[in-house]
Structure 1
Amino acid sequence: MSAQLKFKDRTRSQFFSTVRKRVDAYFVENGVSSNANAAMWRKASFFLIGYATLYGLILSNQFGLWTMFGMAIVLGMFAAFIGFNVSHDGLHGSFSSRGWVNRLMGNSFYLLGANPYIWKITHNIVHHTYTNIPGHDEDIELAPGLVRLDPQEDLKPWHRFQQWYTFPLYALASLSWVFRKDFVKFFKNQIGHHDNSSHPRQEYVKLFASKIIYYFFFLILPVLVLDLTWWQLAVGFIMMHIAEGLVLGLVFQLAHAVEGTDFPMPDERGDIQEAWAVHQMRTTANFAPDSATAAFFCGGLNRQIEHHLFPKVCHIHYPAISKIVKDTAHEFGLPYLENRTFGSALLSHFRLLRTLGRTQPVRPLVAQPVAVTQQEPVPFL
């Protein structure tokens, strides 16, 4: 029988209970809800209306080729911003105290051509629990065999150049998501070591129906209404997704794949010898924490530390609680990783890719497969 991966809090760390108590006190003392406020609703409306407007303008057939080409690129960026600012909070249940509102906001993920159900499994359950653990967190398996983020993975000759070719691969992430990734993940028996062998019947219907609808609105309807050749439409569609994929890929990778973040391996019993919240502090990093622009467009993903500790708190509140989290981390002698700018985070990611493209693999201590127990409690997922 294989071992079960568990977080063993040998030191009985009081970090998470302390920081949670302080964050809860902040909301109570200030009479503030941890869900979306007026500013959050305005921001969500801006991106949703902007997306619909751009799509409508393109289909109006009132603009020249190059103007529509530019609007397609911006439309792809708006899709990514909806993912960051609307879908992400909705899928984590942090947008509202009402479940139907969260479901509605989470379903905006369909506008990206992506499936919210499978995202909740891969992201909310697997990634948020087993962050950066090789063999469990598939987010560090960007392009198996091509990109090496797992220190255990065999080093190949081409990995020496991965810091150069990985960034262009991010641009293909959205296209892969629309045509391949959701189907592959949905029909895998395991994601990491999470049992993924059974899904509700309605999710099969939603997966295929939503993909067909997306293909209709973005591949068939434009052919019917626009005075463009098929190859011009294909270029516009591809460029829209290249823009979307590049924005998505870069922002997500700057949270966990930068210098200083850990990629911990289970011990010989298949355990992680620290508390779950402490593990999050060692595997997660912020970027551009003082940038209002990053906060507006990235939907709080520039403050991933706060997000991983409090995914049920709407991201609009992360700047307010970040000082509490940072001070508490320092009080308990824990790292609080951050890159001061978006550019410095990109450089750090570049250097990490270069390092992992040269270092020999670190072999795991366990000699047998490690399975995940579904009994492991994870706060606030």
Structure 2
Amino acid sequence: MAKKLKFTPAGNSPFFVTLRERVDAYFTEQALSPYANRSMWGKACFFLGGYIGLYALIISNQFSTPAMLGMSLLLGIFAACIGFNVSHDAVHGAFSSRPWVNRLLGNSFYLLGASPYVWKITHNVVHHTYTNIPGHDEDIEVAPGLVRLNPDDPKYPWHRYQHIYTIPLYAFASLSWVFRKDFVKFFKSKIGQHKNAVHSRGEYVNLFVGKTLYYLAFLVVPCLVLDLTVWQVLAGFVLMHLTEGLVLGLVFQLAHVVEGTEFPMPDDSGMMSESWAIHQLHTTANFAPDSSLAAFICGGLNRQIEHHLFPKVCHIHYPAITVIVKDTAREFGLPYLENRSFASALYSHYRMLQHFGQQ
């Protein structure tokens, strides 16, 4: 049975105190804000503009069916990139010092057919607090019973083949998010061990109105204005979400389920053996840290260590503070996990799927 968790007090280890002082000193000495700069606003405009532009081109009904399918595929990629680069930072409060700006940009999650409110609970509160802890972090419970992503999950005979079928299965993550996941999470009394029973009336309205508007925009309107059959519209919609789901699924899994990451459990009293910050170093990994393309597309999620330690710092600053985090971790004899490329991280994830399937 899952227990109420407590981390070892941070005061027992000077690591995070030292690290925060050094990161704060960097922003002070460089006279920089930890929030979005011009480059960050440029990225946001690029992905939001590209998404709106692609949708408008499709709805214009001026293109052939194959061309519209191609644009649907691109629309899925842009949707994932909005999630990485705009919604994610904004919901963490890292985009702007003005809360209303973060709320406005956080609502870009609705463009993905997702609820920013549910995301804030499942990601900001649960995942960031209880990273990789079985029974608490539901991000390591992908298709329970079908996919085994941690050593505490029950093992079934078909898991020996999960390294073959799991990665293609990630493509369905976005469709599940749009039609199922948000509703399931919203109405669960607990997410992990986080009590989730009480929501305001406004959040009920936001959930159902947001979903309805999305279904209207991407299913009803195309059927009304395009010279396509219902099945062709559905094919474009599914292709968009399969692309979006694969991109989303891979980026998030390559940060926590790769070789070297741990899945620690509390002791009998519910106490974790490390402080929260050191726990993040044991359970999180970066990938492709030197790739400008990965940084541009993934919105800093290829540098998950920095993100987990400093979620309220805009990801545009992660490359600069990476040196500080890495050097401080090594100074205190702590792990700093990274895969040098996307391909090596993907292979490491594949090997972890094999490991948990054959364990």
* TM-score bin, normalised by smaller chain: over 0.9
**Distance of 2:302 and 2:2 partners within structure 1:** 37
8 Å Cα contact 2:255-2:285 kept in structure 1: yes
**Distance of 1:167 and 1:235 partners within structure 2:** 21
Query: Which residue is equivalent to 1:285?
Result: 285
The 5 A counterparts of 1:50-65 are: 50-65=50-65
Query: Which residue is equivalent to 2:331?
Result: 331
8 Å Cα contact 1:10-1:273 kept in structure 2: no
Moved over 3 A (4+): none
Query: Which residue is equivalent to 1:118?
Result: 118
**Distance of 2:222 and 2:193 partners within structure 1:** 41
User: What value does the CA root-mean-square deviation take over the aligned residues?
Assistant: 1.1
Deviation at 1:9, TM superposition (A): 3.9
8 Å Cα contact 2:284-2:305 kept in structure 1: yes
Query: Which residue is equivalent to 2:345?
Result: 345
**Distance of 1:186 and 1:163 partners within structure 2:** 31
- In proportion to residue count, which structure has more helix? 2
Secondary structure of residue in 2 paired with 1:207 = helix
Query: Which residue is equivalent to 2:230?
Result: 230
8 Å Cα contact 2:187-2:197 kept in structure 1: yes
Deviation at 1:4, TM superposition (A): 2.6
1:145 paired with 2:171, answer: no
Query: Which residue is equivalent to 2:32?
Result: 32
Distance 1:161 1:2, change over 3 A: closer
**Distance of 2:202 and 2:28 partners within structure 1:** 39
Deviation at 1:155, TM superposition (A): 1.2
Query: Which residue is equivalent to 1:299?
Result: 299
Deviation at 1:273, TM superposition (A): 1.1
Query: Which residue is equivalent to 1:42?
Result: 42
8 Å Cα contact 2:72-2:236 kept in structure 1: yes
Secondary structure of residue in 2 paired with 1:281 = helix
Deviation at 1:270, TM superposition (A): 1.3
**Distance of 1:153 and 1:4 partners within structure 2:** 19
User: What letter corresponds to residue 301 of structure 1 in structure 2?
Assistant: L
User: What letter corresponds to residue 332 of structure 1 in structure 2?
Assistant: F
**Distance of 2:344 and 2:2 partners within structure 1:** 41
Query: Which residue is equivalent to 1:160?
Result: 160
**Distance of 2:200 and 2:231 partners within structure 1:** 39
Query: Which residue is equivalent to 1:103?
Result: 103
User: What letter corresponds to residue 121 of structure 2 in structure 1?
Assistant: I
User: What letter corresponds to residue 260 of structure 1 in structure 2?
Assistant: G
Query: Which residue is equivalent to 1:92?
Result: 92
Distance 1:11 1:48, change over 3 A: closer
Secondary structure of residue in 2 paired with 1:286 = strand
Secondary structure of residue in 2 paired with 1:4 = coil
8 Å Cα contact 2:80-2:244 kept in structure 1: yes
User: What letter corresponds to residue 200 of structure 2 in structure 1?
Assistant: P
Deviation at 1:123, TM superposition (A): 0.2
User: What letter corresponds to residue 63 of structure 1 in structure 2?
Assistant: F
User: What letter corresponds to residue 100 of structure 1 in structure 2?
Assistant: W
Q: Output the TM-score relative to the length of structure 1.
A: 0.93
User: What letter corresponds to residue 347 of structure 2 in structure 1?
Assistant: L
8 Å Cα contact 2:280-2:309 kept in structure 1: yes
In structure 1, list runs of 5 or more residues that go unmatched. 360-381
Query: Which residue is equivalent to 1:69?
Result: 69
**Distance of 1:51 and 1:132 partners within structure 2:** 33
Secondary structure of residue in 2 paired with 1:104 = helix
User: What letter corresponds to residue 324 of structure 1 in structure 2?
Assistant: I
**Distance of 1:325 and 1:44 partners within structure 2:** 26
Secondary structure of residue in 1 paired with 2:12 = coil
Q: Output the TM-score relative to the length of structure 2.
A: 0.99
1:81 paired with 2:81, answer: yes
8 Å Cα contact 1:159-1:358 kept in structure 2: yes
Q: Percent identity?
A: 69
**Distance of 2:321 and 2:147 partners within structure 1:** 35
Deviation at 1:150, TM superposition (A): 2.0
Secondary structure of residue in 2 paired with 1:8 = coil
8 Å Cα contact 1:141-1:149 kept in structure 2: yes
In structure 2, list runs of 5 or more residues that go unmatched. none
User: What letter corresponds to residue 86 of structure 2 in structure 1?
Assistant: V
Query: Which residue is equivalent to 1:373?
Result: none
**Distance of 1:123 and 1:343 partners within structure 2:** 25
User: What letter corresponds to residue 217 of structure 1 in structure 2?
Assistant: A
CA deviation digits over 1:188-218, x for unaligned, max 9? 0000000001001100000000000000000
**Distance of 2:241 and 2:3 partners within structure 1:** 41
Deviation at 1:11, TM superposition (A): 8.1
8 Å Cα contact 1:94-1:312 kept in structure 2: yes
**Distance of 1:347 and 1:150 partners within structure 2:** 17
Deviation at 1:269, TM superposition (A): 1.2
8 Å Cα contact 2:2-2:193 kept in structure 1: no
Distance 1:10 1:39, change over 3 A: closer
User: What letter corresponds to residue 194 of structure 1 in structure 2?
Assistant: H
Deviation at 1:10, TM superposition (A): 8.6
